[in-house]
Structure 1
Amino acid sequence: MSGTFHHHRIGPLPPFLAAPSSEAVTRVRMPTGDHMWLITDYAVGRAALADTRLSRAAATHPDAPKWGSVDLSPNSIMSLDGADHARLRRVAAAAFTSARATAQAAVIEEAADALLDQLQAAGPGADLVSGYASPLPMAALSALLGVPAADRPVFDAAVTALFDMTPQGIRRRGRHILTLIQYMSSLIERKRDAPEQDLLSALVRVEQSGEMSRTELVNLGLALLMAGYETTAHQLSLAILELLTGDALAGQSVEETVEELLRTTPSTPISFPRVAVEDLVLGGTTVRRGEAVIVSLLHCNHDAEVFGASGAKSDARRPAHLTFGHGAHRCMGAPLVLLQMKIALTRLWQRFPELRLAPEDGAVVWREGLATRGVSRLVVEW
């Protein structure tokens, strides 16, 4: 069963997540008024994420239960099942070469050092969200996709606006998505005319070979952008906050520390909904065809039977956390996220070994959100 976690370090959660039942599978009401089955047990959740009877494609149908006003495009790689999903995933995975990941390390190190230089020059009392955790993944993503330096301000503004979850920001979301689609389309045309060594150029070559359509290429570019920026920026902020306020993770390697931070404080608290394409039983509960299921990655990652009540020390024998998902839709960018976090955290503490939270009120401001957790402000001293 789900273990306890420190709510003062977890931040605000939607009501259906804040007080789950002791059952492995519970019927909960979404902000839309629709009902879904919520899984909080690790074993049941892990199995559900890999169960082909639970469909991501069916969850994008207009009549399917919805968790919020914004849903992914039915053509997105995150919304597909079966052969189409496998084909696009194979194409995208081939573009994520180890050489590309190695090249990313140098980009991330250079960007991290430049941002830390700026923070040091500005002096203590810096906000690590706006000064480090948000711009770092943006720089890495721009380099990965091959966004030219001259386009960065427009690109950054559109991406940042897209993830503005204030009521005002949500109202304008459609316009920002359109801006990004237009930008991605124009960038693809430029890569077609003058290919480079970046990921988008590699994907354009795949499209030219006939393995995917133009629409799929634009959607894949946007999916990589949306998955790669917001979740990574929040994940980095949450990891820094946990290191500043949580229990010391002594005696662990950097890799073990990063994995443990991903487990205890995932920026993605819940999986995307999946809809049952036939009746099935999950954790002793019958889920009917057409009903939706979501997995609380947060609660599964804190399952005391799997990870121990204290969870302070990772154990090589225990199962993997579910922060990156599991099964066919497991996050393809996981190695890049791990790389960014390892470099970002190492560089930050090397530069500021005495790093601590600022004593002021409002040093930590949690953001309200459904699909992602994070802080909008994290003020530190050194």
Structure 2
Amino acid sequence: MSGSFDHHRIGPLPSFLATPSDEAVKQVRMPTGDDMWLITDYAVGRAALADTRLSRAAATRPDAPKWGSVDLSPNSIMSLDGADHARLRRIAVAAFTSARVAAQAAAIEEAADALLDQLQVAGPGADLVGGYASPLPMVALGSLLGVPLADRPAFDAAVTALFDMTPRGVRRRGHHVLTLIEYMSSLIERKRDVPGQDLLSALVQVEQSGEMSRAELINLGLALLMAGYETTTQQLSLAILELLTGDGPDGKCVESLVDELLRKTPSTPISFPRVATEDLVLGGTTVRQGEAVIVSLLHCNHDAEVFCPSGKQRHARRPAHLTFGHGAHRCMGAPLVLLQMKIALTRLWQRFPGLRLAPGDESLVWSEGLATRGVSKLIVEW
């Protein structure tokens, strides 16, 4: 069953996640008023994420139970099932090569050093979210997609606006999406004429071969932005906060440190909803056809039967955490996230070995959201 975690370090959670429970599967009410089945047990959650009887496509239908006012497009790769999803994922994975990800390291390192230079000049009292954790993933995405340097300011502004969760930002979300669609369309045309070594150029070549439509190409580009910006920004912010309020890096192997930070502090606390296409049993609970299921990745990652509170696994081989999901919809961008976090955390503590959270309640401001969690301000000293 799900273990306990320090709510002061986890931050605010929706009421259906914050309430402790010994049930592996329980029914909860979402902010929309719709009921869903919430899974908090690691084994049950992992199985559910890979169960083809639980459909992402069905969850985007108008009559399906909803968790919020904003849902993914039914044409997004994150909303597809079966053969449609498998075809697009195969194309995306083929373009998202390990060599192409590794090639982003130099740009990320250069950007990290430049941002840290700016923080050093600004002096203690700097905000690590606005000054480091937020702009760094934008550089990585721009480099991966091949966004020209001259376009970066407008591109960055459009992507940032898309994730503005203020009431005004949410109202204007449709406008921001259209702005990005228009930009993506123009960038695709330029890649068609002058291809590069970037991910978008590779996908344009696939589209030209007839394996993918133009609409699918645009949707895939937008999906990469949706999945790669805010979640990475928040993941990096949460990792830094965990180190500031815990033991710090303390000479740990960076790979194992990053993996443990991802397990303990997932920026995506719950999976996207899935709807049962037939009656099935999950953890001894019967889920009827048409009912929706969500997995608490946060609770599963803290399952005391799988992960010890100390972080030392009980099994000979450490089980994989669920921060990147599991099954057909496991996050394709995981290698890029890992690369960014390794570089970002290493560079940060090399530059500021005495980094600490500034005193005062105003030094830490939590973001409140359903799909992602994190901090909007993190004031530090060194």
Contact 1:57/1:79 (8 A) holds in 2: yes
> Once the 2 structures are TM-superposed, how far is the Cα of residue 249 of structure 1 from its aligned partner?
6.0
Mark the CA change 1:353 to 1:247 in structure 2 (over 3 Å): closer, same or farther. closer
How far apart, in 2, do the equivalents of 1:357 and 1:313 lie? Answer: 29
Contact 2:65/2:292 (8 A) holds in 1: yes
1:138 is matched with: 138
1:195 is matched with: 195
1:44-84 deviation digits (Å, cap 9, x = unpaired):
00000000000001101111000001110111010001111
1:128 is matched with: 128
Contact 1:277/1:289 (8 A) holds in 2: yes
SS of equivalent to 1:362: helix
SS of equivalent to 1:137: helix
Give the aligned residue type for 2:14: P
Count how many residue pairs are aligned between Structure 1 and Structure 2.
382
How far apart, in 1, do the equivalents of 2:268 and 2:59 lie? Answer: 18
Mark the CA change 1:316 to 1:111 in structure 2 (over 3 Å): closer, same or farther. farther
Stretch of structure 1 that moved more, 97-106 or 113-122: 97-106
Stretch of structure 1 that moved more, 93-102 or 260-269: 93-102
> Once the 2 structures are TM-superposed, how far is the Cα of residue 161 of structure 1 from its aligned partner?
1.0
SS of equivalent to 2:104: helix
How far apart, in 1, do the equivalents of 2:149 and 2:315 lie? Answer: 43
Gaps of 5+ in 2: none
Give the aligned residue type for 1:369: G
How far apart, in 2, do the equivalents of 1:314 and 1:91 lie? Answer: 38
1:166-194 deviation digits (Å, cap 9, x = unpaired):
11111111111111111111111111111
Report percent identity of matched pairs: 85
SS of equivalent to 1:346: helix
2:46 is matched with: 46
2:272 is matched with: 272
1:302 is matched with: 302
SS of equivalent to 2:361: coil
Give the aligned residue type for 1:359: P
Give the aligned residue type for 1:148: P
Mark the CA change 1:20 to 1:57 in structure 2 (over 3 Å): closer, same or farther. farther
* CA RMSD across the alignment: 1.3
Contact 2:108/2:140 (8 A) holds in 1: yes
SS of equivalent to 2:281: strand
> Once the 2 structures are TM-superposed, how far is the Cα of residue 248 of structure 1 from its aligned partner?
5.0
1:133-175 deviation digits (Å, cap 9, x = unpaired):
0000001100110111111111111111111111111111111
Contact 1:260/1:314 (8 A) holds in 2: no
Give the aligned residue type for 1:66: K
How far apart, in 2, do the equivalents of 1:280 and 1:244 lie? Answer: 44
1:206 is matched with: 206
1:366 is matched with: 366
1:82-129 deviation digits (Å, cap 9, x = unpaired):
111111111111111222112111111111011111111111110000
SS of equivalent to 1:306: coil
Contact 1:126/1:380 (8 A) holds in 2: yes
Stretch of structure 1 that moved more, 27-36 or 93-102: 93-102
Stretch of structure 1 that moved more, 236-245 or 141-150: 141-150
How far apart, in 2, do the equivalents of 1:129 and 1:17 lie? Answer: 25
SS of equivalent to 1:378: strand
Give the aligned residue type for 1:330: R
How far apart, in 2, do the equivalents of 1:350 and 1:60 lie? Answer: 45
Mark the CA change 1:314 to 1:342 in structure 2 (over 3 Å): closer, same or farther. farther
Mark the CA change 1:41 to 1:184 in structure 2 (over 3 Å): closer, same or farther. same
Give the aligned residue type for 1:132: Y
TM-score by length of 1: 0.98
Contact 2:34/2:66 (8 A) holds in 1: yes
How far apart, in 2, do the equivalents of 1:316 and 1:198 lie? Answer: 40
Mark the CA change 1:250 to 1:306 in structure 2 (over 3 Å): closer, same or farther. farther
| 1:1-382 matches, cutoff 5 A | 1-248=1-248, 250=250, 252-311=252-311, 317-382=317-382
Gaps of 5+ in 1: none
SS of equivalent to 2:118: helix
> Once the 2 structures are TM-superposed, how far is the Cα of residue 21 of structure 1 from its aligned partner?
2.2
How far apart, in 1, do the equivalents of 2:276 and 2:353 lie? Answer: 50
Give the aligned residue type for 1:318: R
Stretch of structure 1 that moved more, 4-13 or 352-361: 352-361
How far apart, in 1, do the equivalents of 2:133 and 2:3 lie? Answer: 29
Give the aligned residue type for 2:164: D
Mark the CA change 1:203 to 1:316 in structure 2 (over 3 Å): closer, same or farther. farther
Contact 2:2/2:41 (8 A) holds in 1: yes
Contact 1:45/1:295 (8 A) holds in 2: yes
How far apart, in 1, do the equivalents of 2:195 and 2:254 lie? Answer: 36
Mark the CA change 1:314 to 1:333 in structure 2 (over 3 Å): closer, same or farther. farther
How far apart, in 2, do the equivalents of 1:316 and 1:83 lie? Answer: 36
Contact 1:38/1:295 (8 A) holds in 2: yes
SS of equivalent to 2:155: helix
Contact 1:249/1:313 (8 A) holds in 2: no
SS of equivalent to 1:305: coil
